[in-house]
Structure 1
Amino acid sequence: MSNPDLKVVLPGWPGTPVDQDGLFINQEHPMVGSIWEVLKFMTERNPQREIKKKDTWRISVLKDEVWLNDPADKIVWLGHASFFIQLAGTRILIDPVFGKLPVGRRYSELPVDPHKLLNIDYILVSHAHYDHCDKKSLILLAAANPKAQVFCGLKLNKLIQKWVGIPIQAAGWYQQYETPADIRITFLPSRHWASRSFFDANETLWGGFMIQKSGKCIYYSGDSGSGSHFNDIGVFFPGIDVALIGVGAYAPAWFMSRNHQDPFQAVEAFHATGGRIFIPFHYGTFDAADEPMSEPEQILNKLRAEGKINNELKILRLGETFPL
């Protein structure tokens, strides 16, 4: 399945796969879950429970809003999976979630007043899950940025258009959104799933993004388990400057590994993309799994110290500017 109005960039690509019911499926390792697995996860004793209780680590937050008006190219991590990116004057937000989730608390402060996120050109939404697609945040941004556009996966536009009146483009995997010629934004595969309730699983598409402008190439993985798509993306997009790859919500592995990666797997994915700089995300803001909140950074720092991460690992504080 594809959007007939958008360009398919991968030669011979047959379109995003769907099952016999028209629901989206992964390229490999189809998502096969059940309510019983969810109940088991929710009721099973966490073997790291005592470690989590003693884990007082909280992610560092830098409340320096100078970057809002600085014209230089940059990436700023806003928390969890939310990023601000500026490339040659183009201002982009990815998966903006500024508040709490329907269940659970927010453990990190937002490093910026979201009302100050102005002159945004593109808002990228990777998939429908509440920690990536937030109604209140999108309404706020659309009101403050009436000239912005939302880019998302197939059929997610039907939900978002109920909330905002700004233009929305919905793409299949390996489709390029319509933009001015000086910037290319492409929707890419990930190994995940999507829903807003127990009754709409995989009716909307999930994925990641490639952003290219002024000779710079930034990859955002979205939520994803391990898969061959990382290598495919690295082959089709050689010379990735920065790879933003999720490293959190991975325990217990029997339940989470189909949809998220632990730090070891994320490093493998980074290597597969051939990226120059690895920026991890998806930890420190929401506690959605069994691992202690400090564990992803601890493991990544250990791997770096052991020389097991090729090229550069950059662990950001929230609100910290990473120059491009």
Structure 2
Amino acid sequence: MPLGVRRAWPRSFADRLTAPLPGIRGLARFAREGTVRPGPGAETDIPQLPFEPGPLPAAALRTVAATWVGHASWVLRIGGLTVLTDPVWSRRILGTPPRVTPPGVAWHALPPVDAVVISHNHYDHLDAPTLKRLPRSTPLFVPAGLGRWFRRRRFSCVTELDWWEAAELQGVRVEFVPAHHWSKRSLTDTCRSLWGGWLLADGRRKVYFAGDTGYGHWMAEIGRRHPGIDLALMPIGAYDPRWWLRDVHCDPEEAVRAVDDLGARRMAPMHWGTFLLSAEPVLDPLRRVRAAWLRSGRPRDDLWDLPIGASRVLEDRGDAV
């Protein structure tokens, strides 16, 4: 797909939903139970959240490096490019308390940004104040139906993709892949734009960025179409209450199961420890994903449970350092 081409899209993508959105009864139960934030004692756990900011690694053309900024924001170095995923550097986002851990990389410490990928339009993944910091010529890869939002903000190289469509930037292939989620940014735009994850490949390495997703059949299909994924960036938080969030957010055990379905060698957990979006205890996502990984029998070194601000590098020979 050529970069920056304007395209016509359906008015709604509701037919892509893999589970119905909550109805009136579900909303009433959610309001009645009031389980939207961690319970008493959460404040004492916040200082224990892993936060170890460090310098960005030097990433050569033939290496892949991943640095966790927090939530679903990563600095990926692949094929010589610096790519940001769902960049959110703001302290506050709409509808939730302030972030409990600062961004793991200062904005001024970033190298020139070669591209940005956006998974969907929820406020904790699409942050207007952060995006305003970027040059308007920055190549952006966004879901179908979301390009107008960026063009209104004068971005000039916006590539909208449907599921299973791909574009190429300086030798790196960027493909939009399905997710079990939804989209909404205002009272009137439910499912007006698509949602999904991204598969980035430079001919030697493949990195899967899940964005925001529940567990489901798309994981195995992504793995079937893209064998040999080297690293999967998987959400593990914002899962409680389960009856409310199961269809759109993986819990830690489901994230590990999804990595098996994907056939990915390594997993880097994300989407936890930054914004307190749901009711699970603050440190539970980390504890549970470590336990699930151990039970899976996978090598411990292949779980990249990074502190916010930390990095890992895949050398060309396949070893992590």
User: Is TM > 0.5 for Structure 1 vs Structure 2?
Assistant: yes
Cross-structure match for 2:148: 158
8 Å CA contact 2:17–2:181 kept in 1: the answer is no
C-alpha separation in 2, matches of 1:118 and 1:42: 44
Show CA shifts across 1:31-82 (max 9, x none).
3223653453244144973464654454222232243x55453100100000
Aligned equivalent of 1:201, options 177, 190, 193: 190
Inter-partner Cα distance in structure 2 for 1:264 and 1:270: 10
Q: What does residue 64 of structure 2 align with?
A: 73
Match of 2:317 in 1: none
Distance 1:284 1:274 in 2: 26
Moved more, 267-276 or 101-110: 101-110
Q: Secondary structure at the match of 1:254?
A: helix
For residues 1-324 of structure 1, what are the structure 2 equivalents within 5 Å? 22-25=11-14, 27=16, 29-34=18-23, 37-38=26-27, 40-46=29-35, 49-50=39-40, 52=42, 55-56=45-46, 58-67=48-57, 71=60, 73-99=64-90, 100-103=92-95, 104-142=97-135, 146=137, 148-180=138-170, 182-305=171-294, 307-311=295-299, 312-324=302-314
> Cα distance, 1:89 vs. partner?
1.3
Q: Quickly say closer, same or farther: Cα 1:26–1:118, change in 2 above 3 A.
A: farther
Contact persistence 1:58–1:107 (CA under 8 A) = no
Closer, same or farther: CA 55–39 of 1 in aligned 2, 3 Å: farther
Shift of 1:314: 1.5
Query: How far does residue 232 in structure 1 lie from its aligned partner after superposition?
Result: 0.3
Once the two structures are TM-superposed, the CA of residue 318 in structure 1 deviates from its matched residue by: 1.2
Tell me, in whole angstroms, the C-alpha distance in 2 between the residues paired with 1:203 and 1:28.
Answer: 12
> Distance in 1 between the 2:41 and 2:246 partners?
21
Task: Give the Å deviation of 1:115.
Answer: 3.0
What is the CA–CA distance in structure 1 between the aligned matches of 2:183 and 2:49, rounded to whole Å?
27
CA contact (8 A) 2:51 2:104 kept: yes
Q: Secondary structure at the match of 2:133?
A: helix
Q: Which runs of 5+ in 1 are unaligned?
A: 7-16
1:302–1:85 Cα change, 3 Å: same
Structure 1, 254-263 or 162-171: larger mean CA deviation: 162-171
Structure 2 unaligned runs (5+)? Answer: 4-8, 315-321
CA contact (8 A) 1:218 1:242 kept: yes
- Paired with 1:316 and 1:239, the residues of 2 have a C-alpha distance of 22
The amino acid that maps onto 1:80 is: H
Structure 1 pair 196–26 and aligned structure 2 pair: CA distance change class (3 A): same
SS in 1 for 2:89: coil
Distance 1:162 1:322, change over 3 A: same
Structure 1 residue 23: deviation in Å?
A: 1.6
Q: Shift of the alpha carbon at 1:164? A: 3.7
**RMSD of the alignment, in Å?**
2.3
Cα separation, 1, equivalents of 2:157 and 2:56: 29
2:131 alignment partner, SS class: helix
The letter of the residue matching 2:298 is: N
Structure-2 change in CA distance of 1:214 and 1:5 (3 Å): closer
> 1:310 offset after TM fit, Å?
3.1
Aligned equivalents of 1:70, 1:229: Cα separation in 2? 31
> Against the structure 1 CA distance between its residues 58 and 294, is the aligned structure 2 distance closer, same or farther, given a 3 Å change threshold?
same
Q: Is the Cα contact below 8 Å between 1:303 and 1:309 reproduced in 2?
A: no
